[in-house]
């Protein structure tokens, strides 16, 4: 990694850490786990953005990708990953592959990632990028992610990268007891709430709002 890119990557990590501290009154988190921050430090974000935007790849903000979509603000990627509390043996479903960046971050933290992208162009591009970079425990397919990927269920966790009008029932049905779902859901006045949903060992479902996402367009990748 070139020295200027390495410095920009380090600056991004510091910006995430500061943003987490600034939002702790919402999230209850003063810091994210070391494993998640290590994953954020390892994945080359510039490889997941178009060439025209690579100079901005490590800014703590969303950037345009293909098909009119976006790659999410690094803070949101890191926070959503941390909320899942991923373990090395976990199998995770991602809804909304986008450029593949979120899947790449998860790749180093879990056993397997299954990712569904509704835009075929993005699914193909992300799969090619992930394969080229050696993320061999990520499987991508084009399709309606709100239906999940039942052939590989149940999942230890589900992460939805684009805002939904409600929590899709199939995603809850495909979670293991004790599993978590992290999803941005449309709220009033055009805002979005980042929700953490937990399926108890007894099957009971609990949810809480973690962060009002007013400043981040959680569309595309998301």
Q: Which residues are catalytic?
A: 72
Neighbours of 89 (CB within 10 A): 9
- Maximum pairwise Cα distance, the chain: 51
Cis-peptide into 213, omega within 30 deg: no
**Exposed/middle/buried for 116, CB within 10 Å: 0-12, 13-18, 19+?**
buried
SS3 134: coil
Q: What is the 3-state secondary structure (H, E, C) of 33-77?
A: CHHHHHHHHHCCHHHHCCHHHHHHCCCCCCEECHHHCEECCHHHH
């Amino acid at each position: 990694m070139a020295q200027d890119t390495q410095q920009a990557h380090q600056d991004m990590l510091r910006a995430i850490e500061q943003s987490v501290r600034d939002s702790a009154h919402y999230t209850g988190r003063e810091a994210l786990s070391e494993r998640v921050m290590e994953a954020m430090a390892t994945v080359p974000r510039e490889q997941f953005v178009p060439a025209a935007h690579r100079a901005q790849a490590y800014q703590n903000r969303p950037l345009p990708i293909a098909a009119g979509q976006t790659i999410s603000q690094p803070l949101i990627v890191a926070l959503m990953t941390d909320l899942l509390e991923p373990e090395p043996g976990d199998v995770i479903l991602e809804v909304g592959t986008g450029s593949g960046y979120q899947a790449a971050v998860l790749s180093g933290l879990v056993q397997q990632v299954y990712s569904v992208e509704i835009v075929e162009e993005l699914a193909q591009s992300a799969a090619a990028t992930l394969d080229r970079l050696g993320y061999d425990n990520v499987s991508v397919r084009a399709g309606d992610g709100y239906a999940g990927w039942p052939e590989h269920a149940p999942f230890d966790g589900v992460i939805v990268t684009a805002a939904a009008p409600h929590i899709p029932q199939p995603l809850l049905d495909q979670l293991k007891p004790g599993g978590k779902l992290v999803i941005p859901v449309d709220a009033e006045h055009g805002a979005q709430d980042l929700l953490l949903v937990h399926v108890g060992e007894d099957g009971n479902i609990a949810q809480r709002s973690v962060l009002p996402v007013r400043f981040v367009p959680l569309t595309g990748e998301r």
